[in-house]
Structure 1
Amino acid sequence: MVDVTAEFRRVQSAYAQPTLSLISRKSSPAVIAVFRSMFSTEKPNVPTARMHDQVNGLLADLRRAGIPDVPDANGRDACKRWMNDGWLNRTSDANGDEIYSLTANALDGLRTVDRLTKDRSISLSSHLIAGLIRHLRDFSASISPDVGDYITSLTAEKVRIQTEIKRVLDGGAVEEASEDQIIAGFTELQRFLAELPSDFSRVSESYRDFEVKLISEFRTESVATGEAVRRYLAHVQDLATSSAAGRGFEGALELLRDPELLDQVNRYISTLLADERAAALLNVEERSQVQNAVLLIREGLKQVLERRARVSRTLNDYITSHDVERDHELAETLRALESAAQEWMQTAGPRAKAPMELLPGKLDVQHLRTKMYDPANDEPPLPMTQVERPDRVGNVTLAELRARGGPSHAALRDELEAYLGDSVESLAELFHSLPEDLRRPVEVLGVLPLARRSGLEPTGEVEVYETVRPDGSRRLLDVPRYASTTPPDDDSAVAGEGHR
């Protein structure tokens, strides 16, 4: 009698898998439509920020179209929920940027939906029956090899091939594949190609799970360097031999390593797609899938190798940072603490407390030096050397250079300091009393700041300054009038008369 309860438990465990949960929920049509819009064979990864924005827009489009059971969340929250459901992976690419990719379970669910949405079915034909018989023959021969049966099978195959060669050489026509055979062949090819992404994802996820397990073991137990390497190599070996996905990965790796086999595969694909009947039977998406078969294998290998390289880096970081001597010191310290705790527990009561600081106390240090003392920093500068002042620089004398320079502030201050402290009615008159070498046009810019610092203020009027250029020519300048704001006393008036 069939144990229906056991069957129910097996079916229930299958429905708990992310693959069936993806296609069995009320929101599954909307979620799968988003996945089919975001991911493809040519675009297996999507940057995180772009994924959030586009998912947000796609969900909004579905709501506006009146589609029922659309997830009520923004793009970021929806992607986070799908990660928890086991449909999305978020990893980092070679540049360190975060990307989303579909998990192997999600790819299996999409392949199921894709197969159901095809309007083409495989009909039972002689092509399929012949392929089934060949597969059974080769498979049974490999499972239970018998020398006699094996030689008989090869001899029969040899006779058939020689008979076919003779028929063609005698002018017989080469039998072309029927439309039914072409459809069946392409359907089978697409089935193989559709399974590749999920197989590669399974291998990549296996390496990811192993990395998480390896890091957990590093943190919870002291794993020797040799043991860590042994576990890594054992995982790689088991993955390559124990699972169909791992064996497929090794086969794809051998394909890309063999240039002749790779060229042969490309020629087969080109021959298939060059046929007019194939072009009429395949739509654009199916034709692109077949044409990019090698690219699909290459991208899947790249994904797996990047994940394996990441595990290798994790292992390398552990090996290079693992200090055996430090671990021994830590073990001795922990044993000493355990011994002290045991001695204390012999005399301590059940509610006794041991004063213990969780963090070390604060150090009373005012300043920590960041570099060593360098005596060269306190050496005095080199003494200044006396240089003979030349009379000429090129074809110009020093006097000519000074005549073309700016205001002579020191000389102006010496000449005008005694008068600027008194009451001044006209700054222009003081300027006109200066020697001609201090009456250059530029000297006006030195007289005005001196006057302002001495308490003279502009009156709002303008007075004329007669300046003398170095070549003896004169120039009149209209300059704001400056005068004292305090009335003159007797002494200053006498000094002013004497100056005039």
Structure 2
Amino acid sequence: MSSTRTEAAYLRSVTAFKNPTLDLLHGRFAPFVVAVLSIVFTPDRPAVAVADAHVEVAEAIDELRAAGIDTDDDRRIPAGSAREICRGWVRVGWLGLQIEDDVEVYRLSAHAVGALEIAGRAGGGRARVSRSRVRTLLDAVDRLARDAESDPGRRREALLEERAALDAEIAALDEGVVEPLDDDHLLEEAENVIHLARELPADFSRVAESIAAMQRDVVAELRRDVRPTGEVLREYLERGRQVMQATPEGRAFQGALRLIGDPEDIDDLTDQLHAVLTQPFSRLMTPEQRGELDAIARRVEAGVQEVLTAQRRASHVITAQVRTHDPIRDRHVDDLLRSVMAGLHRWSQTRSPGRVEPVRTLPLADIGHLRRSLSDVRPPGAPEPLASGDSDVEFVNADTRAWGGPHYAELEAYVATLPGGFDLATAFAGADAETRRPVDLVGLLEIVHREGLVETDDVSIVEAVRPDGTTRRFAFGAVTAAPARVSDAEPPTATETDADD
């Protein structure tokens, strides 16, 4: 029997060490993991953007290596980049990936929170049997026995004894008899409160993770459900609404939420903690202990918010899956994915390892002309040509065509009358008023450039007239038309210098 008990105890121990919490603390790089996770994730910062976490982990690695922590003979930091290290933590269950406000973030899993709490308790404080902890245990046992008592007479007797003790204490206070507790006893009470509060973040994380796991199970079950959507709609929507009651952790959390769910309860807790920190005995506490005591209310509020967020997310996902549930389409998609994976497996067995050229663009289908009617057997015809006449153009207030682009036809006809080698500025000054707009100067430069031009070191200044009568002066490098075509010439750029009215 002794051998059987020993074997059973050993198997339980092996199972326990497979838990991610003990695996984190037992691993070769446990000090590094605990240190980095404790500085990246804090009670006031439970979620960290993926990109930010990678940067902070890389900085921590560089600082540790610069301090000589990681040496070739005694390697204490895992190999790989910060991104690879974080993704490894996700795979082993120490970090969780979530989407919050369209941003991918890391969150500590309940296992990691528990491991950090164990490491902090083991290395940051003394574990001792105190009156406060014993009294906490006795009070819990007394309340358990009282709640489990089914005899009304005995429950009434216990309540009367409790009331008599309270009445005696009130009477003593009325007579001015006060027995102040010594500072050591109050310090023990504060340490016990801190010890109890350290358990809360892991408890909240376990509730949130249980809800997320239930959500994944429901979605997977829904995808396997071949019943018509109408039959499963009411069932799964009800499960989405009652997601908190679907797990033991969720039901336990709802019971606790009745004690701390009201914002006024959180405010009262904050006021009580602040009042404790103003007492003289708080000077005996370390700065870390005072900080933990002050942060209890914020930790409780953040934990409640984490669980409620997980509940809303699970309800939303289940509801969305139900509304889009299509068994036939889901089966088609599953069959397609399985065929793709099977084909990829066959290809990987037949192809020699090496570089695979990626598909950079997908082929385009040449569909030609789509018929507008299947009954029309005539081939499609070309569209009617656009009318170029001006007879049908009507302007309500004014002809705005004067503000358009260059008058190429008039400018080309004008350039044809000029002798070879003419100066562009002189030619522009001699043009009609309708073709001396700023845009016509650009058009004239373009026409001369096509036939060839010669630039000099001089500067030409011309005056252009807008359709509304205002003038603008432009300066540019002097240009003369060449009698022969110069193919490599570049048109100069006109720059506005000033304006005259």
1:481–1:30 CA distance, 2 compared to 1 (3 A): closer
The reply on whether 1:316 has 2:316 as its aligned counterpart is: no
Q: Matched residues in 2 for 1:202 and 1:45: separation?
A: 15
Change (3 A) 1:320 1:378: farther
CA distance in 2, matches of 1:64, 1:411: 79
CA deviations 1:191-223 (Å, max 9, x no partner) are 222111111111111122223223322333325
- Whether 1:76 aligns to 2:77 is no
Alpha-carbon deviations, 1:212-265, whole Å to 9, x = none?
A: 2233223333252233235445653132xx33xx35532454355434433332
1:318–1:453 distance in 2 versus 1, CA, 3 Å: closer
Aligned match of 1:268: 272
Q: Compute the TM-score of the two structures, normalised by the length of structure 1.
A: 0.65
Match of 1:226 in 2: 234
Aligned residue for 1:90, secondary structure, equals strand
- Mean alpha-carbon deviation: is it higher for 53-62 or for 129-138? 129-138
CA drift at 1:482: 8.7
Q: Residues 26-105 of structure 1: matches in 2 within 5 Å?
A: 26-67=28-69, 68-73=74-79, 74-93=81-100, 95-105=101-111
1:410 to partner: Cα distance: 8.3
- Using the TM superposition, give the Cα deviation of residue 133 of structure 1 relative to its aligned residue in structure 2, in angstroms: 3.4
The partner residue of 1:110 within 77, 95, 116 is 116
Residue 296 of structure 1, aligned match among 299, 303, 307 = 299
Verify the 8 A CA contact 2:99 2:105 in the aligned structure 1.
Answer: yes
Letter in 1 for 2:149: S
SS in 2 for 1:200: helix
After TM superposition, the structure 1 = structure 2 runs for residues 403-418 of structure 1, keeping only pairs within 5 Å, are: 416=417
Which of 184, 208, 211 is the aligned partner of 1:207? 211
1:421-500 to structure 2, matched below 5 A, reads none
- Residue matched to 1:337: none
After superposition, the Cα gap between the structure-2 partners of 1:162 and 1:92, relative to the gap in structure 1 and judged at 3 Å, is same
Q: Is the 8 A contact 1:252 1:297 kept in 2?
A: no
Within a 5 Å distance, the mapping from 1:147-226 to structure 2 comes to 147-172=152-177, 174-222=178-226, 224-226=232-234
2:215, 2:187 → 1: CA distance?
43
Q: Deviations over 1:414-462 (max 9, x none)?
A: 9x57xx5xxx9x989xx9xxxx999xxx8xx99x99x98999998x9x9
284-293 or 202-211: which moved more?
284-293
Amino acid at match of 1:28: A
> Which residue identity lines up with residue 15 of structure 2 in the other structure?
S
Partner AA of 2:237 in structure 1: V
- SS of aligned partner of 2:130: coil
Q: Structure 1: where are the runs of 5+ without partners?
A: 331-361, 389-407, 463-478, 486-500
Distance 2:199 2:102 in 1: 28
Does the C-alpha gap of structure 1 residues 101 and 248 become closer, same or farther in structure 2, counting only changes over 3 Å?
same
Residue 182 and residue 219 in structure 1: after superposition, are their counterparts in 2 closer, same or farther (change >3 A)? same
For residues 454 and 313 of structure 1, the distance between their equivalents in structure 2, rounded to whole angstroms, comes to 67
Query: In percent, how many aligned pairs have the same letter?
Result: 24
1:294 is matched by which residue type in structure 2?
A: A
Partner residue of 2:147? 142
Any conservation in 2 of the 1:18–1:85 contact (CA below 8 Å)?
A: yes
Superposition deviation, residue 481 in structure 1: 9.3
Residue 244 of structure 2 corresponds to residue 236 of structure 1: yes
| 1:281–1:370 Cα change, 3 Å | farther
Structure 2 residue runs without a partner (length 5+): 333-362, 374-382, 396-409, 459-477, 485-501
Letter matched to residue 275 of structure 2: T
Q: Quick check: 248-257 or 72-81, which moved more?
A: 248-257
User: Aligned partner of 1:237: which letter?
Assistant: Q
Q: Distance in 1 between matches of 2:20 and 2:422?
A: 97
- When Rg is computed on C-alpha atoms for both structures, the one with the higher figure is 1
Q: Secondary structure at the match of 1:98?
A: strand
Structure 2 residue 30 is the aligned partner of structure 1 residue 23: no
Q: Which residue of structure 2 lines up, in the alignment, with residue 497 of structure 1?
A: none
Return closer, same or farther for 1:281/1:452 CA change in 2, 3 Å cut-off.
closer
Matched positions, count: 392
Deviation at 1:323, TM superposition (A): 4.9
The structure 2 residue matched to 1:277, chosen from 239, 259, 281, is: 281
